[in-house]
Amino acid sequence: MTEPASDPERIRDMLLRQRRFFATGATRDVEFRRERLRDLGRAIDEGGRAMSEALRADLRKSAAETFLTEIFLVKNEIRTAVRRLRRWARPRRVRPPLYQRPAACEVRPEPYGTALILAPWNYPVQLTLSPLVGAIAAGNCCVVKPSELAPASSAAIRGVIERAFEPELAAVVEGGADTARCLLSEGFDRIFYSGGPDVGRLVMRAAADGPTPVTLELGGKNPCVVDRSADLAATGRRIAWGKLLNAGQSCVAPDYALVHREVKDALVAALADAVRDLYGDDPSRSPDYGRIASQRHFERLLGLMSQGTVVLGGETDPGDLYIAPTLMERPEPGSALAREEIFGPILPIVEWGDVEEAIAEIRSRPAPLALYVFASDRGLADAVLDAVPSGGACVNDVISHMANDALPFGGVGPSGMGAYHGKASFDTFTHYRSVMRKGFALDLPVRYPPYEKRRRWLEWLSRLYR
């Protein structure tokens, strides 16, 4: 195992080796890419236990949740890319317009060169390795920086990547904010960042110096609209599952519930029943219920719990970084609980009587990463979808849209730019190069000066293409 790059000189040396390797053209070969992706799949199989233990140490994740929300999704990304990469990477012929013939035109998918992936701590395996699959599938060399806030997971990810790839193709850099700043100053050809919007803005500013194309996967205050036509038992179960997965530390978790006032009390009861069914009478004893990642996040969440009325849960254990599944009503207007992404197991509930009230409430905030609507009334669900922009959406479910690699996953506005998963990952790390080929046999004089002599021909052409 090689020593991780962590200082500027070592990072520059590593990047120089990657650029030299990319210049050899080895990564342009589609079979080379497919075999490297298979190597990554094998390395994940071999390192699966270590990753599971690391996630247990960092986030108290169970082995089953680690497989479901991390390893399985990455393995599926690999499987899809290996199966479809030849088609994705094939140049696409384009018919030239009449006035450019004879010519042959094509769009060639080509790698950018060296890519940088800056990953977060909440789903460290999935949100590090899924974009890496896209970068390798597209033929790039890649530097990965896992989050220092999940140190055990960072070490396990480093082991998997070093087992799968030569450092000239993909390498890991571990470190904190100074390391990230150093990496951002090195002039990568593509940057992929997952995390909070404040750091996302810093990444974008750094990329502007290149300028370097950027994909930003950020968060958002994801609304969950519940109509009186919804099946409340199923709604409560699905919202509770999505909200409490990873102890609420998911960028696509429901962040607040907008509930028709006629069914608000019934939904609260359904959510309470669902929490009990999923995690027992005491969730702190459940092997499937996670913990808050750090003391700083724990204290922030405690502050949010003081900004409304707790109607379920509310128990905490600072020594264990435990916060019980918590429902809250009447969040203080303008408070952080009402306006900011929660990123924890706390769900504020807000009533509405007319769907326009719910839509106006959502539209008073920036566009979310995810929008959830629970309704048997399809017209109401479509009205919400049509009126509210979001990165992605589910009707009568939560989170599941991001597990389908046929659906591009990404944000809009403050929740991010660009998308990935499946073909969208390949596209994110690919430059689509336009190429036109012409022979020397025919060279129409109409395009050359003096144009006054060609005016009638040009006018004829303009009429032809109206």
Q: What kind and span of H or E run contains 430?
A: strand 430-437
Q: What is the pLDDT of residues 247-291, one digit of tens each?
A: 999 999 999 999 999 999 999 999 999 999 999 999 999 999 999
CA-CA distance, 172 to 145, in Å (whole number)? 6
Q: What is the pLDDT of residues 125-157, one digit of tens each?
A: 999 999 999 999 999 999 999 999 999 999 999
Structure tokens at 260: 């028709």
Q: Distances in Å between the alpha carbon of 221 and those of 311, 342, 362, 416? A: 21, 7, 9, 13
Residue 423's φ and ψ, nearest 5 degrees, are: -60, -35
Residue 311's φ and ψ, nearest 5 degrees, are: -115, -10
Q: ω before 450 within 30° of 0 (cis)?
A: yes
pLDDT classification of 210: cutoffs 50, 70, 90: confident
- Cα-Cα-Cα-Cα dihedral of 354, 357, 360, 362, to 10°? -90
Mean pLDDT (whole number) for 358-364: 96
Residue-level pLDDT at 4: 47
C-alpha angle 413-418-424 in degrees, rounded to nearest 5 = 145
Largest CA-CA distance found in the chain, in angstroms, rounded: 89
pLDDT classification of 123: cutoffs 50, 70, 90: very high
Q: What is the pLDDT of residues 281-299, one digit of tens each?
A: 999 999 999 999 999 999 9
Q: DSSP letters along 204-253, please?
A: HHHHHTTT--EEEE-----EEEE-TTS-HHHHHHHHHHHHHGGGG--TTS
Q: Where in the chain are the domains?
A: 8-218+417-431, 223-404
Q: DSSP letters along 350-367, please?
A: EEESSHHHHHHHHHTSPP
Q: Is the pLDDT of residue 100 over 90?
A: no
Q: Which CATH superfamily is domain 223-404 in?
A: Aldehyde Dehydrogenase; Chain A, domain 2 (3.40.309.10)
Q: Do the beta carbons of residue 390 and residue 365 sit within 8 Å?
A: no
pLDDT classification of 466: cutoffs 50, 70, 90: low
Q: Distances in Å between the alpha carbon of 176 and those of 6, 13, 216, 279? A: 9, 19, 19, 34
CA-CA distance, 92 to 105, in Å (whole number)? 9
Mean pLDDT (whole number) for 24-51: 97
Structure tokens at 454: 């060609």
- Asked whether this chain's domains 8-218+417-431 and 223-404 adopt the same fold, the reply is no
CA-CA distance, 70 to 123, in Å (whole number)? 7
The dotted CATH code for 8-218+417-431 is: 3.40.605.10
Mean pLDDT (whole number) for 400-415: 95
Count CB neighbours of 95 within 10 A. Answer: 10
CA-CA distance, 92 to 198, in Å (whole number)? 39
Full-prediction pTM beyond 0.75? yes
Active site positions, annotated = 217, 251
For tokens 């896992």, what's the residue?
A: 146
Residue-level pLDDT at 2: 43
CA-CA distance, 372 to 242, in Å (whole number)? 11
Q: Is the pLDDT of residue 398 over 50?
A: yes
